[in-house]
Structure 1
Amino acid sequence: MSGQALVAALGWTLVHFVWQGALLGCAVAVLLVALRNARPETRYAVACGGLLLCLAWPAVDLALLLKAGAGDAGGRLFPGAGGAGAVAPGATGLLPWLGQNLGWIVALWAACSCALSLRMAVGLLWIGRAARAQACDPAWQERLSRLAERCGLGREVRLRVVDGLSSPITAGWWRPVVLVPASLVAGMPPHLLEALLAHELGHVRRHDYLVNLLQNVIETLLFYHPAVWWLSRRIRAEREQIADDFAARHLGEPRRLALALSELEKLQFSSHHLAQAANGGDLMARIRRLLRPDVQALNWKAAIPVLGLAVVCAASAHAPANRNDAAPVLRGETRGAIADFSTCRKPYYPKADIAAGHEGTVTIGFMIDEHGMVTGSSIAKSSGYASMDEAARTALALCRFSPALEAGKPIEQLAHIQYVWTLK
């Protein structure tokens, strides 16, 4: 087979996956909405199956194109359309344009895939080096080994203390290792850190590292389709819930893991890392689920990605996926305003205060209206330095909030946020 025929077959395979991925995304989205109150293991299996189909369908399509020849591949994109080989050189339209630019499409895809592969390889090398070179805390290693035995793991799980991480990471399959941020070892109460380690052992028990590697491979090959990234993100979110359930079951107290996740959020935010989920998922949603595992009502906002993918599938066009992950509002729920720290801007440390070695904690009060907007702010408790107080107030006023609820209805409420200024 000539190189030109191979490029044509690969190019049409990439083009076909635009509608194939949209169709798979629609189907999985509908199933996940229907299974919203099922066990996370069930949703995890559905999402994994959808992502595997995203790899298998183009692979089968490529094999069929190579076997039959890619000349008529364009005609398979739209029912009733003529083959690409039958289009006159001067013809205009989508199919002729695609057929004339398959070489550029494949070249661009190959370049991006190589860049993503390089990034993945660098990440794997860094993890391997950290597992070999970083310090081992004997006391925590012994504690982790006892915890692994309690959780029914029959193999050794190593522990390494690493600087610069924002949350624990589990790596390796044959010889698993848990990389723990040095800031957690130094700043988190031992019983809460043990809860996070139990969560990581849940990943080890289920061999999640291998599944995550396969996810990275699929993301690298099919990076251009938003349905692939959406499915992969759902897999990681469900995986975290499964590990949460594993840890809560073996600890016997879900509240301890919820407190550990809350403490992890505080440590990340106070050290200039805006709060993000450990290894996937949403920290606030996971904390609420551990403390109040209520039945979820149907959230019509979740249908927006489904409708978007349906439009893509019907039009056979590449459109961005809707990434609205707003937490569902439970009927009759009463809660305070919740800040979305991913929308916040990191406060700028005043140079004069850095030079003077000033540190402190400021508490800022924000008046949040029924729409989650900040209508006013004030310093509830000063750090002792006016310039640091003002810098924190100005930056955090840009945060987005979910409004407070009373019996399910949004209300205006005063919310307080602490910010820790530290030079460490």
Structure 2
Amino acid sequence: MTPQNLVFDLLPQAVMHALGWTLLHSLWQGALLAVVLAAVLALMHRHSAATRYYVAGAGLVVLLGLAVITFLQVYEPNGGAYLMNHAEGAAGSVTATVSLPDAEASSGYFASVWAQSQAYFNQHLPAVVALWLLGMVMMGLRLLGGWAYVQRLKTYRTRPVPEAWQHKAQELSRQLGITQLVRVVESAMVKVPLVIGHFKPIVLLPIGALTGLSTAQIEAVLAHELAHVHRRDYLMNLLQSLVETLFFFHPAVWWISDCVRTEREHACDDLAIALCGDSLTYAYALTTLEELTMKKNEKSPRMAMAFSGRRRSLLSRITRVVQKSTLRPSFSEGFLASCAVIAGVLVFSASAWAKYPAKMEKWSLRSRLPPP
């Protein structure tokens, strides 16, 4: 059975048609969104990490929303299959009618190219959707396996920390305004501190962290992990995983998601330093834990928020903590960032409005085509 036949058996033709075009449109939508986001983040380099985090996170939400809107615009329950069967003939008819001189001929030429391109993509949409479904299933299994592993970490080879540290975690939770109880345990399965869960969060400390770090450093580590709980980062991490699964093929999505993770760690760093009041102690804690991680050569699961994060970002985090700028964002930076956002919205709006005449023309073309 070919991928095309498999897709036709799994999905109605109208759904397959709309889904295929949504995936194709997401390529330029995601690329344009990444360009706008890069410009906005560059202009907001002196804003707080929390603000930059929300801006980057909004980029993922906007991309997901654009995909839903595109699907609803393209989806035609009674017309998708008919148009796919006659798209090639329609492209030929458009080419035949374009014989006007000068500007009209040029406009007709581009209309002919666009019609032929539509016919080509319509012909290969089943293969596009089949490959996307296969990749999404693989990514979904990877996500499910990561979730199962994280759930196992909660209870497997864990032991409670001394009461003094549990009380310290409760004290820090009260200072952050966390209402639920956050358990702190030592785990033989993790090599860096991390936090798991939203409704019943649990902080996992690697075996040896309590003896290898000073008291102030351990407090900084706990403050960072509790900052994740306070900011409800676990929910955003789930949303990121969902978007990464749906748009696994898009480099822009992975770049935006990487920006979200980077700014999330920076925001938690800022909260931990504000709570503990010593940036040098915090930087030493980052360095010491990274040394322990390198010795054990382990990585943290993606479904959890790890303290030290990715190794390639550790140096930038330490530099940022030690040499954190006290400059405030200027009015011009905020104004330019707003202009970049408005420009991006106008481009997306113009592209959306441009679809309406094309859609009306498509329905008119369908009414003139002979019945199948």
The separation in 1 between residues aligned to 2:322 and 2:87, in whole angstroms, is 58
SS in 1 for 2:69: helix
CA offsets 1:103-151 (integer angstroms, 9 cap, x no match):
1111111111111111111221222222134322233333322332333
User: For 2:129, which of 103, 106, 115 is the aligned residue?
Assistant: 106
Aligned to 2:261: 236
- Provide the residue aligned with 1:318 in structure 2: none
Tell me which protein shows more strand as a share of its residues: 1
Q: Per-residue CA shift, 1:327-373, capped at 9, x if unaligned?
A: xxxxxxxxxxxxxxxxxxxxxxxxxxxxxxxxxxxxxxxxxxxxxxx
User: CA–CA distance in 1 between the matches of 2:46 and 2:194?
Assistant: 28
The correspondence for 2:45, drawn from 27, 32, 36, is 36
Structure 1 unmatched ranges of 5 or more? 75-81, 297-309, 314-424
Q: Which residue of 1 aligns with 2:320?
A: 289
Q: Secondary structure at the match of 1:166?
A: coil
Tell me how far apart the structure 1 counterparts of residues 51 and 66 of structure 2 sit (CA, whole Å): 22
Point out which structure has higher relative CO (alpha carbons under 8 A, 6+ apart): 2
Name segments (4+ residues, structure 1) moved above 6 Å: 71-74, 274-277
Aligned pair in 2 of structure 1 residues 188, 73: CA closer, same or farther (>3 Å)?
Answer: farther
Pairing 1:133-212 to 2, within 5 Å after superposition = 133=156, 134-139=158-163, 140-212=165-237
Match of residue 410 from structure 1: none
Partner of 2:271: 246
Partner of 2:238: 213
Once structures 1 and 2 are overlaid, which stretch shifts more, 211-220 or 109-118? 109-118
Greater Cα shift, 9-18 or 169-178: 169-178
Q: Match for residue 59 of structure 1?
A: 68
Instruction: Report Cα offsets for 1:259-310 as digits up to 9, x if no partner.
Output: 10111122222334599972458111111111111369xxxxxxxxxxxxx9
For residue 14 of structure 2, what is the aligned residue in structure 1? 5
Alpha-carbon distance in structure 2 between the residues aligned to 1:185 and 1:110: 46
| CA separation of 1:94 and 1:66: change in aligned 2, threshold 3 A | closer
- 2:36 maps to 27
Do 1:71 and 1:83's aligned partners in 2 also have CA atoms closer than 8 Å?
A: no
Alignment equivalent of 1:122, drawn from 111, 134, 145:
145
Counterpart contact for 2:220–2:272, Cα < 8 Å: yes
- What letter matches 1:11 in structure 2? G
Aligned amino acid, residue 271 of structure 2: F
- For residues 201-220 of structure 1, what are the alpha-carbon distances to aligned partners after superposition, in whole Å with 9 as ceiling and x for unaligned? 11100100001100100110
8 Å CA contact retained: 1:72, 1:85: no
Partner residue of 2:333? none
CA distance in 2, matches of 1:72, 1:208: 46
Does the 8 Å CA contact 1:72/1:84 hold for their aligned counterparts?
no
Q: Is the 8 A contact 1:65 1:73 kept in 2?
A: no
- 2:50–2:263 Cα contact (<8 Å) kept: yes
CA RMSD across the alignment: 3.3
1:365 match: none
Quickly say closer, same or farther: Cα 1:70–1:53, change in 2 above 3 A: farther
CA distance in structure 2 between the partners assigned to 1:153 and 1:248 by the alignment = 17
CA contact (8 A) 1:199 1:246 kept: yes
Q: Secondary structure at the residue paired with 1:178?
A: strand
Residue 10 of structure 1, CA deviation:
0.5
TM-score of the superposition, structure 2-length normalised?
0.70
Residue matched to 1:86:
90
2:150 and 2:299 map into 1 onto residues whose CA distance is: 23
- The share of aligned pairs that are identical, in percent, is 34
Amino acid at match of 1:21: G
For residue 278 of structure 1, what is the amino acid of its counterpart?
S
Whether the 8 Å contact between 1:145 and 1:157 is mirrored in structure 2 is yes
2:217 partner amino acid: L
Change beyond 3 A, Cα 1:120–1:56: same
**Amino acid in structure 2 at the alignment position of 1:117:** G
1:169–1:279 Cα contact (<8 Å) kept: no
Equivalent residue of 1:248, what SS? Answer: helix
Q: Which has the higher helix share?
A: 2
Query: Kindly tell me: are residues 85 and 113 of structure 1, through their superposed partners in 2, closer, same or farther at Cα, counting changes over 3 Å?
Result: farther
Give 3-state SS (helix, strand or coil) of 1:132's partner.
Answer: coil
Deviates more, 1:227-236 or 1:155-164: 155-164
Q: Does 1:14 align with 2:23?
A: yes
Change in Cα spacing, 1:73 to 1:116, as seen in structure 2 (3 Å) is farther
Change (3 A) 1:287 1:84: farther
Shift in alpha-carbon separation, 1:83–1:20, aligned structure 2, 3 A: farther
Offset, 1:84: 6.4
Q: State the distance in 2 between where 1:122 and 1:41 align.
A: 30
Aligned-residue offset at 1:182: 1.8
Task: Count residues in correspondence.
Answer: 292
What CA distance in whole angstroms lies between the structure 2 residues aligned with 1:292 and 1:72?
63
Task: For 1:270 and 1:245, locate their aligned partners in 2 and report how far apart those are by CA, in whole Å.
Answer: 27
Q: Deviations over 1:150-202 (max 9, x none)?
A: 33322200123222423222121111111222242343333312211110111
